[in-house]
Amino acid sequence: MRHPMRDEDWRAEEAVVRRTMAHASPESARCVEVIEECIARLDGLMDRFCALTCPSCQDQCCNGQKVFFNLADLMTLAARNKPMPPGQTRTASGLPCRYLGPRGCALDRFSRPYVCVWFLCEPQMELLNQEPLRVQRDVIHMLQTIRTQRLWLETFYENHENER
């Protein structure tokens, strides 16, 4: 999953994940709600950090050749029961991220690969370190919470492999 993928392969993988998530328990739905709540709480701060650092960046993280959607990303997107992005971040090695536009990411924060949600470059880490300790602790707590919920979803998926 964490590799370049043709759009037709992406759609096939999406269909498998959607079928599995159709059997999701209320706990799975709650995991996704918690993830959404945490991302919503991070969104304003991350937008502010990106606005301050990304325009002058010479090495945009969005161009990282190893940034892809993974299984937990697809599970979260499928569980939200909303349209998924049309494809993986890249259809071939060496290509830039297809969602990077002139003003940054074209996807809303909820629809991005999780690595794009949590990654803070060095200048953004400096900004975070200037925030009150309460804010720093909240950011760390939200990221840990998201990680825990994503691990739970992956476990659910692994436990239901035979239903696919």
Q: Is-contact 62 104, C-beta < 8 A? A: yes
pLDDT band for 144, please (50, 70, 90 cuts): very high
- Per residue, the 3-state secondary structure of the chain, as one string, reads CCCCCCHHHHHHHHHHHHHHHCCCCHHHHHHHHHHHHHHHHHHHHHHHHHHHHHHHCCCCHHHCCCCCCCHHHHHHHHHCCCCCCCCCCCCCCCCCCCCEECCEECCCHHHCCHHHHHCCCHHHHHHHHHCCHHHHHHHHHHHHHHHHHHHHHHHHHHHCHHHC
pLDDT band for 110, please (50, 70, 90 cuts): very high
pLDDT band for 65, please (50, 70, 90 cuts): low
pLDDT band for 162, please (50, 70, 90 cuts): low
pLDDT value of residue 5: 92
Distance between CA atoms of residues 87 and 25, nearest Å: 27
| pTM score, whole prediction | 0.86
- Nearest CA to 116 out of 155, 85, 141 is that of 85
